[in-house]
Structure 1
Amino acid sequence: MGWMVFLGAACVAAFLFTGVLRGYALKTGMLDVPNARSSHEAPTPRGGGLSVVVVVLLGLPVLFWGAGLEGSALVALGLGGALVAAIGWLDDHIDVAARWRLLVHLLAGAWVVFWAGGAPALPLPGGDWAWGWLGVPILVLFVGWVLNLYNFMDGIDGIAGVETVTVAGVAAGLLWWVGAPGWALMAALLAVAGVGFLVWNWPPAKIFMGDAGSGFIGFTLAAMAVLTWAGTDLTIWVWLILLGVFIVDATLTLFRRLLRGERVYEAHRSHAYQQAARACGRHLPVTVAVGVINLVWLAPWAWAAVVWPEWGVVMVGVAWAPLVGVWVRYQ
């Protein structure tokens, strides 16, 4: 009961603080003004995702002292997340050069991999592969990529919030099931903070997440993927499945833009989810579809990857196949 009260209070706190941030954004003129690459039609306050940042960072010490969350998790998530959120908040106010943001993101990724103790063995059908030093830069790039793709995918009302709630919520259930209550409560904390924000961001959005929130959430999910892989029975395959919608759309779109010689950090509207929203004429059906896909299609495959981790790579391919098809459909 005590933890339910804690999570409920975190949700309410995120909701109330998002309202405060909306008032601040309106007062200071921190608005996203529509342009040719926007998916919204009216100037909208941004920066509301800072509520998730504050609630999660304040909740981490509580989980450390009361739920047995590892000290390495407290340090990796706390300091790394604060650093990512800080550069994102700065970018929400002034344009920070992409190279400096990328440097901070990679440093945060390296910080996480350090506290994870390097790259854990990769479960494969023929046995675990101890990839040693080779896995370290790959995992650092993984954290940096998930962090950035979360920002890329935060382009229509509610989509990033729904992804946060469903992915973290399912992960919380799986972590509880495998006997990792501290990590389960960490994932649940992120999920309920996402709910508090999502009330304001639900289509039509009254406030946007902003770089501070999207970067922090992307970092936290990627960091949890690395750290729980190192310390629990949730391998990287589980997280790749759960994050499939965002990973597939963002990665394929990035490669297509690279092949066309386009500037990958330049804002655009060519993601599959953005094209689907234009085809529907509104954001809500696409946002809801993402939540349904996560819960109905990806969650069962993620559970299967927990039960049979050596076959996780196969399950990732099966789980992602329809997502690739949807991406092709909207290109």
Structure 2
Amino acid sequence: MIILWLLLAVVGVSLVMTGVLRKYALSRSLLDVPNSRSSHAVPTPRGGGVAIVLAFLAVLPILGWMSILTWPVVVALLGAGLLVAMVGFLDDHGHVPARWRLLGHFSAAVWALWWFGGLPQFVIFGTLIDPGWFGNVVATIYLVWLLNLYNFMDGIDGIASVEAVCTCLGGAMLYWLVGRADLAIVPLLLGLATAGFLYWNFPPARIFMGDAGSGFLGISLGLLSIQAAWVSPDLLWSWIILLGVFVVDSTWTLMRRLLRGDKVYEAHRSHAYQYAARKLGKHLPVTLAVAGINLFWLLPISLWVAVGTLDGLVGVVLAYLPLHVLAIRYRAGEKE
């Protein structure tokens, strides 16, 4: 019964708080005004992602008290999530130079990994690999990349929210499948916190997430994937598969812009999903397509890996191949 009340409370708090934040943003003229690099046409309030941050982080101590999460995991998620959200909040309300943003991001990743005990062992082609200190370096980069790519991919109505809801639903199903239904509550809570915000963010969006919300979701999903790896080594691959749409589009776009010599920290509209939205003339079909790919392609493969009948790395390759085709088809990273 307590779990049910927690789930209802998180979605309710997020829903109501987003509405309050929208009124606050309108009263203070905190609007995202369209420009040549925007994917929207109407000035829209921003910063609604703070509701996701507060709704999710508020219940973490309760999960620790209930022994659903260990206290080191609670401290890791709280500390890293708050730091990333604060950096994003400051950037939403002014401008934080890229070097200071990255310092905050790397600090958050190192903090969380220290409390987690680093990156656990994982499986490649049936062999259990102990990554040691090198794995912690890779995990730090992985977390920083995820939180930044989530910021990059939050460019049309509803897409970042839908991605988080689908990934969290998949993560909860993975725990149920491996016999740890008790841990499914954690991704479910994050997914419901995002769903409360999605009510306001679904196309046509009435408020945007902002860097505070997108960065928080990126690092939180990354940390949940590492936490899952501590439960079962195969689950790391399953989570990487679930995140495939965002990973492939953002990585393709970044690499092509780097090779062209673009300033990658500057705003642009050259992601595959942005080209697709302009081609279709609407955000909704693209956002729904992302949901469809997540639920009907990536989720089944991630579950296949979790049960141990498909090697994790093979599963990632299988899942990502069509996504690479779509990235090329929709010109990810091409100059506008």
1:51 matched residue in structure 2:
51
3-state DSSP of counterpart to 1:123: strand
Instruction: Tell me how far 1:67 sits from its aligned partner.
Output: 5.0
Structure-1-length-normalised TM-score: 0.97
Q: CA deviation at 1:233?
A: 5.2
Per the alignment, residue 22 of structure 2 pairs with 22
Q: Deviation string for 1:216-249 (max 9, x for gaps)?
A: 1111000111122123455321111000000000
Whether contact under 8 Å (1:120, 1:130) holds in the other structure is yes
Displacement of 1:65 after TM fit?
1.5
CA contact (8 A) 2:113 2:119 kept: yes
CA contact (8 A) 1:69 1:182 kept: no
Partner SS, residue 64 of structure 1: helix
Partner of 1:158: 158
Change (3 A) 1:154 1:51: same
In structure 2, the partner of 1:303 is 303
For 2:231, the equivalent position in structure 1 comes to: 231
Instruction: Determine the C-alpha separation between the residues in 2 that align with 1:234 and 1:72.
Output: 22
Identity %, equivalent residues = 50
Alpha-carbon contact 1:11-1:196 (below 8 Å) kept: yes
**Structure 1 SS opposite 2:239:** helix
2:69 and 2:179 mapped to 1: Cα distance?
Answer: 12
**Residue 8 of structure 1, CA deviation:** 1.5
Q: Count residues with an aligned counterpart.
A: 331
Secondary structure of the residue that 1:89 maps to in structure 2?
A: helix
1:63–1:182 contact (8 Å) kept in structure 2: no
Tell me the distance in 2 between the aligned counterparts of 1:72 and 1:231.
15
Poorly superposed stretches of 4+, deviation over 4 Å:
none
Report the AA paired with residue 317 of structure 2: G
Aligned to 1:39: 39
Instruction: State the partner residue of 1:206.
Output: 206
Query: Matches of 1:192 and 1:126 in 2, distance apart?
Result: 35
1:158-204 CA-to-partner distances (Å, cap 9, x unmatched) read 00010011101110121133233443111000011111000000000
Task: Name the amino acid aligned to 1:210.
Answer: G
Counterparts of 1:25 and 1:289, CA distance in 2: 30
For the residues of structure 2 that align with 1:6 and 1:177, how far apart are their CA atoms?
A: 22
Q: 1:6 — aligned with what?
A: 6
Structure 2: runs of 5+ lacking an equivalent: 332-336
The whole-number CA distance in structure 2 between the counterparts of 1:309 and 1:84 is 37
Judge conservation of contact 1:183–1:228 (CA < 8 Å) in 2: no
Cα distance change, pair 182–70 in 1 and its aligned pair in 2 (3 A): farther
Amino acid at match of 2:287: T
1:237-316 superposed matches below 5 A? 237-308=237-308, 311-316=311-316
| Alpha-carbon separation, structure 1, partners of 2:89 and 2:11 | 21
Secondary structure of 1:263 counterpart: coil
- Give the TM-score, by structure 2 length: 0.96
Instruction: Structure 1: state its 5+ residue gaps.
Output: none
Structure 2 SS opposite 1:38: coil
Deviations 1:105-128 (A, max 9, x none): 111111122122122222011511
After superposition, the Cα gap between the structure-2 partners of 1:309 and 1:129, relative to the gap in structure 1 and judged at 3 Å, is farther
Distance 1:93 1:202 in 2: 23
**How many angstroms apart in 2 are the aligned matches of 1:255 and 1:183?**
36
1:330 lines up with 2:326 in the alignment: no
Amino acid at match of 2:131: W
Cα distance between partner residues in 2 of 1:179 and 1:242: 19
Instruction: Name 1:184's counterpart in structure 2.
Output: 184
2:144 corresponding residue in structure 1? 144
